[in-house]
Amino acid sequence: MSTARRKLFGTDGIRGAVGEEPLTPQTVTHLGWAAGRVLVGDRLPGKILIGKDTRISGYIMESALEAGLNSAGVDVGLLYTMPTPAIAYLTRTSRAGAGIVISASHNLYQDNGIKFFTRGGAKLGDDAEAAIEKMMARPLTMMAARHLGKTTSFDGAAGRYIEFCKSTIPDRDSLDGLKLVVDCANGAAYQVAPQLLRELGAEVAAIGDRPDGFNINRGCGSTSLGALSKAVTAHGAACGIALDGDGDRLIMVDAVGNTVDGDRLLYILAAGRHATGRLSGGVVGTAMSNIGLARGLAGLGIPFARSAVGDRHVLAELYRRGWILGGEASGHLICLDKNTTGDGIIAALEVLHGMTRAGRTLAELAAAMPTVPQATVNVPLASAAADRVLAAGRVHDAVADAESALGEGGRVLLRPSGTQPLVRVMAEGEDAAAVRRAAGDIADAVRESIAAVQ
């Protein structure tokens, strides 16, 4: 992967603080023009769809992209507020030239991001991102007036996506009477998620469904489960569903408010498909996946492979192996036989359908997977360079000490976040106290290294 490409694109499109480069109106307009030139080119007029989450800055980003695309002669279809996986689905089924998502996923409102889908609904590959970045080096030149693109609303988008999600489970009445709480993270799924669950017969209490442009992911959603856990027990619900700001992540809580993370949900999906003969091949997790997931799947005779962290890497490994099921502990769950990207709503529907089919609670399904104690500490990075921090001698010494203390059954992983200015420290092993201590000691060494290089 080229260094040049990394000047603009990160591990999941472009992401950063609003008002700072590259997320300024001028640069985003230029980006829209460059993307239009690369993704549509001479196949004009062509159409690219744009959707966004609920951040206040989404309006500016949307207008800037629209202006740039129209300048390149590309027509724009506006999806407005729509989950990321819905944009992938609608791009594919409407045969648009590409889809653009304006979202910073699980980040707070001060950040935003831009990511692209191909006409087939897949995330843009490295070569296409590099071509867009290369085009950005050229000056924006507007097409002659008679060749400019135009913008229209994409009517019925929410309804089309809801019907698609409903079609992914066999029996549309299978959720009849099931009491649920859904936390929409004050994000892109705040309308579609409660509506489709109700249409499937569930009794739904919604929280995190009052976005104001500033409260996306704030104390709610898949990264903050306290409110959901309380709401589930208060309503006497069977379980709770937590989405993130753009609707591509899923974390759940059981009837007593305990967290069921992405690893356990992935195990539930795999076990359910295995039991009904619907699992093709094995399962892809990541370097962060709990070793208990691998052990649990092995007990069922299901192959397991790890990719680098990030849903794009999970997808790449799935395609490479010809498998259909993969995901991350953070809640990106990919069912390639249903959608081309991680889809929190579709994953939730499959888990719920599995509960009703098996006549078991979420806690019972989750308990079938063994777990190994794991601790993760996020260390703010600020302006320090991650490679210098992680190369520091004190960090290497702390890692070596931790690996020695954890023994053969333990492991340590350090990595810079691809979406936030953080270093993530993970330790895993058989002894919970030793795991916590190892993660804490390494995190302290990372903090010391950051202070030394700033």
Q: Are 381 and 330 members of one domain?
A: no
* Number of domains, the chain: 3
Nearest CA to 161 among 351, 349, 352, 355?
A: 349
Read off the CATH number of the domain in which 413 is found: 3.30.310.50
Same domain for 136 and 38: yes
The pLDDT value recorded for residue 3 is: 37
Considering the domain architecture, whether residues 279 and 423 belong to the same structural domain is answered as no
Does residue 313 sit in the same domain as residue 408? Answer: no
Print the domain residue range for 69: 5-155
Same domain, yes or no, for 358 and 439? no
57, 18 in Cβ contact below 8 A?
Answer: yes
- Give the model's pLDDT for residue 384: 57
* pTM score, whole prediction: 0.92
The CATH number covering residue 95 comes to 3.40.120.10
CA–CA distance, 267 with 305 (Å, rounded to integer): 13
One domain, residues 436 and 306: no
171 shares a domain with 100: no
Of 367, 388, 421, the residue that ends a domain is 367
Residues of the chain with pLDDT under 50: 1-5
Name residue, tokens 């990511």. Answer: 115
Q: Which of 57, 71, 103, 105 is catalytic?
A: 105
- SS3 for the chain is CCCCHHHCCECCEEEEECCCCCCCHHHHHHHHHHHHHHHCCCCCCCEEEEEECCCCCHHHHHHHHHHHHHHCCCEEEEEEECCHHHHHHHHHHCCCCEEEEECCCCCCCCEEEEEEEECCCCECCHHHHHHHHHHHCCCCCCCCHHHCCCEEECCCHHHHHHHHHHCCCCCCCCCCCCEEEEECCCCCCCCHHHHHHHHCCCEEEEECCCCCCCCCCCCCHHHCCHHHHHHHHHHCCCEEEEECCCCCEEEEECCCCCEECHHHHHHHHHHHHHHCCCCCCCEEEECCCCHHHHHHHHHCCCCEEEECCCHHHHHHHHHHHCCCEEECCCCEEEECCCCCCCCHHHHHHHHHHHHHHHCCCHHHHHHCCCCCCEEEEEEECCCCCHHHHHCCHHHHHHHHHHHHHHCCCCEEEEEECCCCCEEEEEEECCCHHHHHHHHHHHHHHHHHHHHHHC
Does residue 215 share a domain with residue 135? no
Q: Given this model, what pLDDT does residue 4 score?
A: 39
Smallest CA-to-CA distance from 427 within 376, 379, 372, 371 is with: 376
Do 253 and 340 belong to one domain? yes
73/191 same-domain check: no
- Do 27 and 103 have their domain in common? yes
On whether both 218 and 284 belong to a single domain, the answer is yes
Active site residue 224: no
The last residue of one of the domains, among 136, 155, 174, is 155
Last residue of a domain, one of 155, 172, 191: 155
Q: Specify the pLDDT at position 452.
A: 84
